[in-house]
Amino acid sequence: MAVQYLLPCDCGNTTPIDTNQAGSTVSCKCGKNLEVPSLRAIRQLTPLDQGDVAREYQWNLVAGLTFASGVVIALVGASVAYYMFVNTKELKQFQPPPREAVDAWVEEADIDNAPPDELMEMWDSAVNIGLGEYRVSHLVQARETLQWVEMYMNIGLIVVVCGLAFAGSSFFLRNRVN
């Protein structure tokens, strides 16, 4: 890499130049056009220290706020995703009633062995009164809730990715310092 030198301006800023720019004009940050001196005069200027290259960009208010907002968004998304993940573990442990309990309930009704007049009473009761209020089983409720919780967990993960992308974009909003 060619050695660069710092060309001073009346405003106090310096502009990095190469030796191959000798005799040309460059613009300072203040807008003033600076004439680059001859090759011999360029070598009299202060060389650009490679340590200065690391300080090429400086944080400004917009970049800082963008980074902080992105981190906060990512943390909120991570919190939501973690909370929902913990809930999915509890919901996945929900088990349907044991088969023996279901069989006992079916046997209690004993529809197969009921006499015809009792079956007619059950039929009339079901037609005229109804079977009662519709109730969703606990297993179906748990499965539906699990779907919602998993959806919110995925949304939380998407928010984490968006927050990190937002925070990462702040590196492009920094001011360039020469």
Q: Could you state, in chain order, the average pLDDT of each consecutive group of 10 residues for the chain (178 residues)?
A: 81 86 87 87 79 62 91 94 85 74 70 81 82 75 86 94 92 74
- What ranges in the chain are assigned the alpha helix state H? 39-42, 50-54, 61-92, 99-109, 116-128, 138-169
What is the Cα gyration radius of the chain?
A: 38
- Give the global pTM: 0.50
Do 90 and 121 fall within a single domain?
A: yes
**CA 135/CA 101 separation, integer angstroms:** 18
Domain encompassing residue 42: 4-55
Do 50 and 71 fall within a single domain?
A: no
Cβ(31)–Cβ(11) below 8 Å = no
**CA 67/CA 93 separation, integer angstroms:** 39
Do 71 and 51 fall within a single domain?
A: no
Place of tokens 């925070």: 167
Do 166 and 119 fall within a single domain?
A: yes
Do 119 and 42 fall within a single domain?
A: no
Do 145 and 159 fall within a single domain?
A: yes
